[in-house]
Structure 1
Amino acid sequence: MSTPVIIALGSNDKGVWPDIGTLLDAAVNDLTRAGLGEVRRSRWWRSEAWPDPADPPFLNGVIRGVWAGTAVEMMTTLSAIEGRFGRRRSARNAPRTLDLDLIDFGGQRVEGADLVLPHPRATERLFVMGPLAEVAPDWRDPVSGDPVAELVGLARVGRDAVPVDR
């Protein structure tokens, strides 16, 4: 049995990659190799860094897929992939090579020390809701029940986010 999942990807530090889009494409490939199936990817969206717009701008996107394991196994996989891409956790919201957030795991609601589902701040972020609307236009927030199309208009963080052609 596979569970539908929503994962947000972002970066504002290309690290050793030629550009951030290439880095994010490679991360999607790693997720597929790790067992994420039926992957559907949004366009990449560009936005200023938040909360400090003096940091390099971000490229973000969302993928929808299915996962045969548990939410904890998914989180372990996301963390391992971030590490392979050079993610170092320093100051909160610091520039990073790769940020992978588990936004939704089959509509489950979990409030644990190491796992909160759905992602507690996703609906506030246009750079998550905009791409999510592209890959899962019928998605509803498991907490509020609000449809993603409505949440796009309500998101207040990253209001400058726009899709980029690639």
Structure 2
Amino acid sequence: MEKGSSEIDVHASVEIDGAPDLDSAVIVALGCNDKGAWADCREALEASLARFRSEGIDVVARSSWWRSAAWPDPADPPFLNGVVIVRTEHEPHDLMAALGRIEEAFGRQRGRPNAPRTLDLDLIAYGRLTGQLDALVVPHPRAADRKFVMGPLAEIAPAWIHPLNGRTAADLANSASVGIDAAPGR
């Protein structure tokens, strides 16, 4: 597996043909607090981004990596989180399946809820789509309350508007109630 994704510009603004395109943004959050086979969580997350392309997912913008205490149990190892905006031909369920394959390749074990994990990939938003699609809910029902999601998103798309509550990513980052210690890592 490739170890980096240097072709992706950290903090790149989201544009399509030179104009901001946040209404069609497909947003994925990444997290890790168990390095697994990697030297550290940063390396694991970078390697996971390198896998996106092989699954038909193109990263067009990405945040820096943010550190935060584990939630809800801060005794667990701390998290490294980030957000990417992607382009893909996958419909939402197919995108979730592709993200699941990447998690599996990185040793993700599903056990108790909120347990430490080698890789966590969540679909935060799929354009302006809203509602329950079988077992998939978009936008992600808890993302707006999580600083470790909205903070990184506000780095790359501060004007993105949540499809349900009408608030911007920047506003949501400032009012988040979960993971309030989240901050860009070094």
Per the alignment, do residues 38 and 94 of structure 1 end up closer, same or farther by CA in structure 2, a change over 3 Å counting? closer
**Aligned residue in 1 for 2:18:** none
The corresponding residue for 2:147 is 126
- Check if 1:136 corresponds to 2:157: yes
Q: Deviations over 1:79-112 (max 9, x none)?
A: 1110000001000000000000000001200213
Alpha-carbon distance in 2 for matches of 1:50, 1:27: 22
Q: Is the CA contact (8 Å cut-off) linking 1:4 and 1:67 kept in structure 2?
A: no
Give the equivalent residue in structure 2 for 1:95: 116
Displacement after TM superposition at 1:68 (Å): 1.0
In 1, Cα distance between equivalents of 2:83 and 2:42: 13
- Residue number among 144, 160, 164 corresponding to 2:181 in the alignment: 160
CA distance in 1, matches of 2:144, 2:167: 10
Instruction: Please show how residues 37-116 of structure 1 align to structure 2 within 5 Å.
Output: 37-116=58-137
Instruction: Note if contact 2:64-2:185 (Cα within 8 Å) is conserved in structure 1.
Output: yes
Structure 1 stretches of 4+ with a deviation exceeding 4 A read none
Q: Which amino acid aligns with 1:147?
A: T
**Matched residue of 1:9: which SS?**
strand
Structure 1 gaps of 5+ residues are: none
Shift of 1:7: 0.2
C-alpha deviation, 1:35, in angstroms: 1.5
Alpha-carbon separation, structure 1, partners of 2:55 and 2:154 = 25
2:160 is matched by which residue type in structure 1?
W
Equivalent residues of 1:11, 1:59 under 8 A apart: yes
* Deviating more after overlay: 85-94 vs 137-146: 137-146
Q: How far, CA to CA, are the matches of 1:49 and 1:37 in structure 2?
A: 29
Give the partner amino acid of 1:82: E
**Residue identity matched to 1:60:** N
Report deviation, 1:69: 1.7
**CA contact 2:68–2:148 (8 Å) conserved in 1:** yes
Residue-by-residue CA offset, 1:112-159 (whole Å, 9 max, x unaligned): 341000000001100000000112122111001111111011101001
How far apart, CA to CA, are the structure 1 residues paired with 2:117 and 2:101? 15
What is the TM-score of this pair, normalised by structure 1? 0.95
C-alpha distance in 2 between matches for 1:22 and 1:60 = 12
Residue identity (%): 52
Q: What's the TM-score once normalised by structure 2's chain length?
A: 0.85
Distance in 2, Cα, partners of 1:20 & 1:57:
10
Q: Any conservation in 1 of the 2:108–2:117 contact (CA below 8 Å)?
A: yes
